[in-house]
Structure formats: C-alpha cells, structure tokens
C-alpha cells in the first residue's frame, strides 16, 4: 500500500468517479472541472453553469486581492496568486466557451469568484 492511499482512502474512488463522469458528459459538467495544473494540486475550484452565465469559484486562502492575477482566453481560465506561505498557478478548462470580455471577478475572505457570459454555440455554416 502506498502512503498516498493511506492518507486518503477514498481518493482512488473519487478519481475513478470523476473519470467516468467526464467520459459521460464529454469532458466537463456542472460539477467537475478539468485542471491542467501539476498533479498534486489541492486548490479547490468549482464551476457552475447557470442559464447564460458560467461561474468559477476558487479557494485562495492566505493571499491578498492585489496578489491575484486572472486571465482567460474563452476556453481556459488561469489563476495565479502569491501569498506569504503559498503560491497558486491553476489552469482550468471551461466546459463551454465564454466571452472573456464579460468577465467580472470579486475576492472576499479567501474566495475568488469569476463570472462570465456564455457564448452561444458555434457559427452556422451555409452549405452551397
């Protein structure tokens, strides 16, 4: 038994459950995020799909608002922050394309919340 298994007896179960849900929902759903950060990342990030909006909520305890940098290209959100005791560098693939120009963020008591407008589906292509 590896030490990792002893520390979190349900870790393997949840990893497999997440894999199955991703497979079932085509890569992402309203209760899962796909992080591209180094393995072992323990930053808690949730993504919520609401009618015409997408909300990304990240726990970033121990950092000041001025130390947080957020960028988005419409498909991936990157959250970087440096605190006295901890640094964060997370990339989160979004389940749907968003309008990065519509982004609004707020930070309160260690919780960062970013809200985006969803973009409608792809462009229609006329067939001649």
pLDDT of residue 121: 65
Share of the chain above pLDDT 90, in %: 47
Nearest to 86 by CA among 104, 66, 61, 59: 61
* In contact, 60 and 43? CB cutoff 8 Å: yes
* Per-residue pLDDT tens digits for 73-112: 999 999 999 988 889 999 999 998 999 999 999 999 999 9
Instruction: Enter the tokens of residue 127.
Output: 């067939």
Cα dihedral 114, 119, 122, 124, rounded to 10, equals -170
pLDDT of residue 122: 60
Q: Give the whole-angstrom CA distance, residue 115 versus residue 123.
A: 23
Token look-up 């796909």 returns: 34
pLDDT of residue 13: 75
Chain centroid offset of residue 92 CA: 4
Tell me which of 36 and 77 has the higher pLDDT.
77
Quick one: CA dihedral 101, 106, 111, 116, positive or negative? negative
Tell me if the pTM is above 0.95: no
* Per-residue pLDDT tens digits for 114-127: 999 998 766 666 78
pLDDT of residue 111: 95
Q: Give the whole-angstrom CA distance, residue 80 versus residue 14.
A: 26
Token look-up 């407008």 returns: 117
Q: Give the whole-angstrom CA distance, residue 104 versus residue 40.
A: 29
For the segment 18-27, the average pLDDT, to the nearest whole number, is: 66
Tell me: pLDDT of 3 over 50. Answer: no
Q: What is the mean pLDDT of the chain?
A: 79
């Amino acid at each position: 038994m590896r030490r990792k298994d002893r520390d979190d007896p349900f870790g393997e179960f949840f990893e497999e459950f997440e894999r199955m849900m991703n497979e079932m929902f085509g890569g992402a759903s309203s209760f899962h995020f796909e992080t591209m950060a180094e393995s072992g990342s323990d930053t808690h990030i949730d993504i919520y799909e609401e009618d015409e909006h997408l909300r990304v909520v990240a726990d970033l305890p121990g950092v000041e608002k001025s130390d947080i940098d957020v960028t988005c290209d419409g498909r991936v959100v990157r959250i970087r922050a440096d605190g006295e005791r901890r640094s964060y560098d997370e990339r989160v693939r979004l389940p749907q394309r968003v309008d990065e120009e519509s982004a609004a963020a707020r930070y309160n008591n260690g919780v960062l919340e970013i809200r985006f407008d969803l973009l409608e589906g792809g462009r229609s292509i006329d067939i001649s």
